[in-house]
Amino acid sequence: MLTPMTQLDEFNHILDTQNIRMVYQPIVSLFDGSLFGYEALTRGPDNSTFHSPSVLFEFAEKNGYLYELEKLAREKAIQNSILQHKQQMLFINISSPVIFDPKFKAGQTLEVLQQRGLSPSNVVFEITERISIEDFTLAKKVLEHYRNQGYKIAIDDAGAGYSSLQAIAELQPDYIKVDRSLVQNIHKFKIKEYIMETFVTFAQKMNIHLIAEGIENEEEMMKLSRMGVHYVQGFLLGRPEPHAAVISERLTTMITQQKADYSPAGMTWTIGDIKAPIQTFELSTKISHVADYFTLNEVASGVVITSANKPIGLVMRERLFQQLAGQYGFSLFWKRSIESAMDPEPLVVDEFLQVEQVSQMAMSRLHNKLYDYVIITSNGFMSGVSSVQSILACITNVRLESARVASPLTGLPGNIQIHRELQKRASSNQKFSVIYADLDYFKWYNDLYGFQKGDQLLQFTADIIQQSVMAFAHSQDFVGHIGGDDYIILSHNDKPELLCEEIIRRFEQGVHLFYEGTTTRGVKDRQGNAVNSDGVTISLALVICDCKYQPITLEQISEAAAQLKKQAKSQKGSVYCSCDLLNGQADYRPVTEIKEVNSAH
């Protein structure tokens, strides 16, 4: 009778037979909802004591097999890679002890990558901290060797402890993966929000990209998007699977709409808006001809190589002359085709991509390509280029203008942008809705609980309005902050009444948290008169504008909204009331149709 294998025998059998499998969890961009890449995760054999990755790796570490296991996992991750194009990234976990292992030899990973048709630029080594790094000088030396080959570095579990923060300061990674403990319910806890803001500010200053882990609901994702986090990962986007992920169209629409809402009206710049002309050469052009062009045109920093007016390569002046300046450089290259000297994989983008998105792509390139031109196409054909300097200058100017006219409390577009958006819609021939939102008895709350709590309530209201708009996800919708406790939504939703009900439902579900467990007796109006109310409520005025036959003026919208607002405030609780505005004439709904939606709705 056979005796059961010991744990060590079972583990060695797993290594010998390479009996582990890889699953991949998607990482999604919060700029456009695209699949940025995957984190490769290891699973042991089914029905085995080593099925759990934590058990598998802890045993390997304890018994001195960590290097062998991680090498196998690394190779499997690459061999079974599900990357769909060269811009996607594969995140591979490496624990800190393996970095210092003498068996961790250069070239092994590169060989496997080449067999799979990938390059180091597709790989991010994600430093996990099963054991904290103690010798940062040596770690930096080792990791710099891999950076020079084109690999990138990520620090995992940031925010979970001091050691990860020290690793960030010492190693200066390309990516920071923020731990789930900081992400979970971040839309509900201000302290988590403040900590994340620190990470965002730091990342912006250091040109590091943030990846928030453990995203499980839409509210978390939207909050992180508004805060400026770059990428997200979690069950909401996709569970670890052996096959390629498909991100739901709903989530992609929510992400793109979120960015549209936070792009100041009239100030959304595409990369095509800042393109500049550039000299192009055909693929058959001799290197000598391009070098002569640079000599005669001292201000020219680069040229684009085209075929049938489509860009296929980039030549930067400095890099070409460095190549020619080497020993035998002229004799070797002078008469060759420019194809042998060009970069065959430049960054090529469509003219309608937003400038901030292109900036992210440009700054994710290899260090030696960071300041190369970005090539811009129109319908696939050569259109122009932009320098990194022009891209960053554009972003700076847009942000300064946005900060100048946005609400300092909520960050939402202010009255200048609101007026612009209203004017644009009112003069169109499209049907749209205007929803004015106003808090009732906010002055009473502010006086009783203080300005800080009052500001939090205003921010909460802004958040639930945006979340509600996101739930219906229309690409042209706009949210603005008029001032104080007044907000505005411009929507192209077919059923704006449902949007009003969703705003009220979310408000009623969350507003009770702001009373800190106290009763809400003694509510007073602005004149100090006692009113019959359970606390702060929200009133919505819905004006459905039909501009098909005749444009509608802003005065007509304002007049109709004022009448509706008066009706709504005459009712108890959170309510909305509506009217149809056609050819300048408002058809008010009877008061009996005013909907009241409580927390049980």
The count of other CB atoms within 10 Å of the CB of residue 318 is 11
Whether 240 contacts 41, CB under 8 Å: yes
Q: Are residues 279 and 346 in the same domain?
A: yes
Cβ within 8 Å of residue 5, ≥6 positions away: 13
| Per-residue exposure over 399-415, b if at least 16 CB sit within 10 Å of its own CB, e if not | eeebeebbbeebbbbbe
Q: Are residues 215 and 358 in the same domain?
A: no
| 344 within a domain of the structure (yes/no) | yes
Cβ within 8 Å of residue 27, ≥6 positions away: 35, 36, 37, 38, 39, 89, 91, 211, 231, 232, 233, 237
Query: What's the pLDDT at 435?
Result: 96
Q: Sign of the CA dihedral 502, 508, 510, 514?
A: positive
Give the H/E segment covering residue 395: helix 388-405
| 13 within a domain of the structure (yes/no) | no
Most confident of 168-172, 256-260, 420-424, 542-546: 542-546
What mean pLDDT do residues 24-30 have? 95
Tell me the CATH number at 199. Answer: 3.20.20.450
- 215 or 107, higher pLDDT: 215
Query: What's the pLDDT at 551?
Result: 74
pLDDT class for 494, splitting at 50, 70, 90? confident
Whether 45 contacts 51, CB under 8 Å: yes
Most confident of 259-268, 301-310, 323-332: 301-310
Domain boundary among the residues 262, 288, 305 is at 262
pLDDT(599) > 60? no
- 99 or 170, higher pLDDT: 170
Q: Are residues 317 and 427 in the same domain?
A: no
**3-state secondary structure (DSSP) of residue 231:** strand
Q: Are residues 339 and 277 in the same domain?
A: yes
Mean pLDDT of the chain: 84
- 109 or 234, higher pLDDT: 234
Lowest mean pLDDT among 42-56, 63-77, 100-114, 232-246: 100-114
State both tokens at 366.
């290899």
Q: How far apart are CA 184 and CA 220, in angstroms?
A: 7
| 517 within a domain of the structure (yes/no) | yes
pLDDT class for 517, splitting at 50, 70, 90? low
| 303 within a domain of the structure (yes/no) | yes
Whether 514 contacts 456, CB under 8 Å: yes
- 5 or 577, higher pLDDT: 577
- 146 or 505, higher pLDDT: 505
Q: How far apart are CA 567 and CA 553, in angstroms?
A: 22
Query: What's the pLDDT at 291?
Result: 93
Cβ within 8 Å of residue 450, ≥6 positions away: none
- Taking CA atoms, 523 is separated from 119, 148, 272, 454, 587, in Å, by 66, 66, 55, 15, 33
Domain boundary among the residues 242, 262, 282 is at 262
Q: pLDDT tens for residues 560-596?
A: 999 999 999 988 899 999 999 886 677 777 654 444 4
pLDDT(129) > 60? no
Tell me the CATH number at 307. Answer: 3.10.580.10
Q: How far apart are CA 410 and CA 462, in angstroms?
A: 7
Q: Shortest CA distance to 426 belongs to which of 542, 558, 540?
A: 558
Query: What's the pLDDT at 600?
Result: 37
What mean pLDDT do residues 320-335 have? 77
Q: Are residues 275 and 207 in the same domain?
A: no
Q: pLDDT tens for residues 434-475?
A: 999 999 999 999 988 898 999 999 999 999 998 888 877 566
Q: Are residues 288 and 251 in the same domain?
A: no
| 416 within a domain of the structure (yes/no) | yes
| 11 within a domain of the structure (yes/no) | no
Whether 510 contacts 453, CB under 8 Å: no
Q: Are residues 303 and 357 in the same domain?
A: yes
Q: Are residues 223 and 340 in the same domain?
A: no
Q: Sign of the CA dihedral 44, 48, 51, 56?
A: negative
| 349 within a domain of the structure (yes/no) | yes
> Could you identify the residue written with the tokens 């460095």?
322
Query: What's the pLDDT at 183?
Result: 92
Whether 145 contacts 110, CB under 8 Å: no
Q: Are residues 209 and 172 in the same domain?
A: yes
Whether 10 contacts 50, CB under 8 Å: yes
Tell me the CATH number at 445. Answer: 3.30.70.270
State both tokens at 506.
């979310």
Q: Are residues 372 and 455 in the same domain?
A: no
Domain boundary among the residues 360, 393, 426 is at 393
pLDDT(430) > 50? yes
Q: Total structural domains in the chain?
A: 3
What mean pLDDT do residues 379-401 have? 86
Domain with 116, as residue range(s), is 18-262
Query: What's the pLDDT at 267?
Result: 47
Q: pLDDT tens for residues 478-493?
A: 899 999 999 999 998 8
Q: Are residues 213 and 361 in the same domain?
A: no
| 401 within a domain of the structure (yes/no) | no
Q: Are residues 94 and 220 in the same domain?
A: yes
Q: How far apart are CA 543 and CA 557, in angstroms?
A: 7
The pairing of beta strand 302-307 with beta strand 310-316 = antiparallel
**3-state secondary structure (DSSP) of residue 351:** coil
